[in-house]
C-alpha cells in the first residue's frame, strides 16, 4: 500500500479507520480524537473515551497506533494521552450537573443489591469518575454501615436556591443515605406520600455537585420509591441484581419488567448475578454452585440484556461490609477484579445507551 504523507490530515484519515466496537462508528466521527499535533516525526493527540472505566482502553490505543503505522509508516512516533469525558443524558432541571443516574434494583432483599451499589460506586471512582451514591432503601438502608459513616449527619449549606444538604465524602465518592436522616424504626410505618417526599428531598434538596454517575440503591421489589424516582429524574438505566436460585429469579423478573413498562421505559443495562459460587481459598480452582448455576444468565437472556458480572461469595466481603471497612480498599483480589469489570461493563452500557439516544434525537431533528 502506498503510504500517506505525514500530516495531521493523513493521521486523521488513518484514525478514521479505527472503529469504537461498542458505538460502531469511527473514532474521528465520534469526536474522540482531540488536540492533534504533528511535529518532527511525532504525532500526539488525546483519545477521549466516553468513560474512564472504559474496558477498551488498550484495544483502542493499539488500534490507533496500528492504523498510523499502516497508513503513514513505522518511523512515526505516536503519543496518545487517554482521557475521558463521560457522556450523559440531556441535562434536565433536576440535577443538571449529574450526567448519569443509575438505579440498582432487585426483586428480593438480601441478594446483594447494596453490596453491588456500593462496590460499583467505589470501582467507578477508582477509575477516575466522579461518583455519588444515594441509598434510597427506606426500609433497610445499609450504605452507612458498609461505608462506616453511620451516625454522621450530612452538612447543610446555604446556596442561592436555599438550604441544601451535602453528601458525605468517603473513599472518593459522595454518599447520602436515608438512614443518615431518620431513625431506623421510623421509616417502617411510612406510607406512600411520605416515602415519595423523602426521596425527592434526597435528590433535589441535596447539593450533589458535578457527577459522572449517581448510583441509586433502591429498596427491593417495586414500590413508591421506584415510581417516585422514575418520575423525578431521568434514569440512564437500571441494573438488576439477583442470586442464581429460582425464587430470587422469579422476583427479579418482576422488578426488571417494571422498568420496561411503557410510561416508565428505563433501559435495563444488564443483570448482575451475586453469590454465584463459593470458591474456598484453601481449594484453589474449586467452585461450589451453592444456589444453582446459570440463573443470572437465564434472566439476562430473557430480557435480552448482558450479564454484567458474576460475583463470588466471599466471607471477607461480608466482614468488611458489616464492620464498615469497605472504604479501606482491602477487597480480596478476585472480588476487586470482579467489581472493576462490573464498573467497566456498566460504564460501557451507559455510553452505548447515550449514543443511541443521541442518534434517535439527531434523526428526529433531521
Sites of contact with ligand ADP (CB under 6 A) = 106, 109-115, 142, 274-275, 311, 313-314, 317-318, 321
| Pick 67 or 314: Cβ nearer ligand ADP | 314
DSSP 148-178: T-TT----EEEETTEEEE-PEEETTEEEEEG
Instruction: State the residue number with the nearest CB to Mg ion.
Output: 114
Question: If you count them, how many residues does the chain have?
Answer: 366
Asked if 51 interacts with Mg ion (CB under 5 A), we say no
Q: How crowded is the C-beta side of 8, counted as CA atoms within 13 Å?
A: 9
348 binds, among ligand ADP, Mg ion, none (CB under 5 to 8 A by kind): none
- Least Å distance, CB 64 to Mg ion, is 42
- Taking contact as CB under 5 A, which single stretch among the options 53-61, 141-149, 313-321, 351-359 is the one that binds Mg ion? 141-149
C-alpha cell at 145: 454501615
Task: Identify which of residues 114 and 349 has a Cβ nearer to ligand ADP in the complex.
Answer: 114
Shortest reach from residue 234's CB to ligand ADP, in Å: 24
Task: Output the smallest distance, CB 114 to Mg ion, in A.
Answer: 3
Number of residues counted as binding Mg ion (CB under 5 A) = 4
64 versus 103: smaller Cβ distance to Mg ion: 103
**CA pair distance 116, 318, nearest whole angstrom:** 12
Dist CA 348 CA 116 (whole Å): 17
Q: How far is the CB of 219 from Mg ion (least distance, A)?
A: 8
Ramachandran quadrant class, 50 (left: phi over 0; alpha: psi -120 to 50; beta: rest):
alpha
Q: Which does 317 bind (CB under 5 to 8 A by kind): Mg ion, ligand ADP, none?
A: ligand ADP
Q: Are 346 and 22 in contact (CB under 8 A)?
A: no
Could you say which of 50, 51, 114, 276 contacts Mg ion (CB under 5 A)? 114
Place of cell 428526529: 364
CA distance 36 to 59: 20
354 binds Mg ion (CB under 5 A): no
Residue 34 grid cell = 482531540
- Rounded CA gap, 313 and 330, in Å? 16
Closest Cα partner for 5 from 35, 43, 31?
Answer: 43
Triad 315, 319, 324: Cα angle to 5°: 150
- Smallest distance, Å, CB 217 to Mg ion? 6
Which residue number, 115 or 174, has a Cβ lying nearer to ligand ADP? 115
Residue 92 CB coordination number (10 Å): 10
Q: What is the CA radius of gyration of the chain?
A: 22
Q: How far is the CB of 251 from ligand ADP (least distance, A)?
A: 11
Listed residue (33, 90, 91) closest to 67, CA to CA: 33
Q: Which of ligand ADP, Mg ion, none binds 318 (CB below 5-8 Å, type-dependent)? A: ligand ADP
For residue 140, count other CB atoms closer than 10 A to its CB.
18
Closer residue to ligand ADP, CB minimum distance, 113 or 130: 113
Which of Mg ion, ligand ADP, none sits in contact with 112, Cβ below 5 to 8 A by type?
Answer: ligand ADP
Q: How far is the CB of 312 from Mg ion (least distance, A)?
A: 19
Q: Which is closer to ligand ADP, CB of 71 or CB of 277?
A: 277
Stretch that binds Mg ion, among 130-138, 162-170, 327-335, 350-358 (CB under 5 A): 130-138
142, 222, 243, 349: which one binds Mg ion (CB under 5 A):
142
Q: Is the distance from CB of 118 to CB of 277 less than 8 angstroms?
A: no
Q: Shortest Cβ distance from residue 141 to Mg ion (Å)? A: 7
The minimum distance between CB 83 and ligand ADP, in angstroms, equals 33
Q: Which does 130 bind (CB under 5 to 8 A by kind): ligand ADP, Mg ion, none?
A: none
Closest CA to 217 of 131, 307, 300: 131
Contacted by 115, from Mg ion, ligand ADP, none: CB < 5 to 8 Å by type: ligand ADP
Find residue 307's DSSP bridge partners: 271
Q: Which residues bind Mg ion (CB under 5 A)?
A: 113-114, 137, 142
Amino acid at each position: 500500500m502506498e503510504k500517506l504523507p505525514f500530516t495531521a490530515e493523513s493521521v486523521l484519515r488513518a484514525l478514521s479507520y479505527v472503529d469504537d466496537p461498542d458505538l460502531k462508528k469511527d473514532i474521528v466521527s465520534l469526536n474522540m480524537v482531540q488536540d492533534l499535533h504533528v511535529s518532527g516525526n511525532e504525532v500526539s493527540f488525546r483519545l477521549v473515551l466516553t468513560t474512564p472505566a472504559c474496558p477498551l482502553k488498550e484495544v483502542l490505543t493499539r488500534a490507533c497506533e496500528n492504523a498510523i503505522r499502516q497508513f503513514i509508516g513505522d518511523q512515526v512516533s505516536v503519543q496518545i494521552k487517554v482521557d475521558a469525558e463521560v457522556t450523559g443524558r440531556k441535562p434536565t432541571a433536576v440535577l443538571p450537573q449529574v450526567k448519569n443516574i443509575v438505579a440498582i434494583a432487585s426483586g428480593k432483599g438480601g441478594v446483594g443489591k447494596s453490596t453491588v451499589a456500593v462496590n460499583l460506586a467505589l470501582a467507578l471512582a477508582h477509575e477516575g469518575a466522579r461518583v455519588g451514591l444515594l441509598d434510597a432503601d427506606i426500609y433497610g438502608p445499609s450504605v452507612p454501615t458498609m461505608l462506616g459513616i453511620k451516625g454522621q449527619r450530612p452538612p447543610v449549606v446555604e446556596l442561592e436556591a436555599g438550604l441544601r444538604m451535602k453528601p458525605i465524602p468517603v473513599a472518593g465518592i459522595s454518599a447520602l443515605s436515608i438512614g443518615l436522616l431518620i431513625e431506623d424504626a421510623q421509616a417502617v410505618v411510612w406510607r406512600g406520600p411520605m416515602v415519595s417526599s423523602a426521596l425527592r428531598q434526597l435528590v433535589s434538596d441535596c447539593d450533589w455537585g458535578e457527577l459522572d454517575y449517581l448510583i441509586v440503591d433502591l429498596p427491593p421489589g417495586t414500590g413508591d420509591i421506584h415510581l417516585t424516582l422514575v418520575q423525578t429524574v431521568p434514569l440512564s438505566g437500571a441494573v438488576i441484581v439477583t442470586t442464581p436460585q429460582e425464587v430470587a429469579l422469579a422476583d427479579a423478573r418482576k422488578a426488571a419488567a417494571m422498568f420496561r413498562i411503557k410510561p416508565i421505559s428505563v433501559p435495563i443495562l444488564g443483570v448482575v448475578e451475586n453469590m454465584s459460587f463459593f470458591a474456598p481459598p484453601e481449594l484453589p480452582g474449586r467452585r461450589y454452585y451453592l444456589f444453582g448455576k446459570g440463573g443470572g444468565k437465564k434472566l439476562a437472556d430473557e430480557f435480552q440484556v448482558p450479564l454484567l458480572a458474576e460475583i463470588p461469595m466471599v466471607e471477607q466481603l461480608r466482614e468488611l461490609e458489616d464492620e464498615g471497612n469497605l472504604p479501606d480498599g482491602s477487597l480480596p483480589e478476585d472480588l476487586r477484579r470482579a467489581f472493576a469489570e462490573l464498573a467497566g461493563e456498566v460504564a460501557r452500557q451507559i455510553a452505548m445507551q447515550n449514543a443511541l439516544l443521541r442518534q434517535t434525537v439527531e434523526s428526529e431533528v433531521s
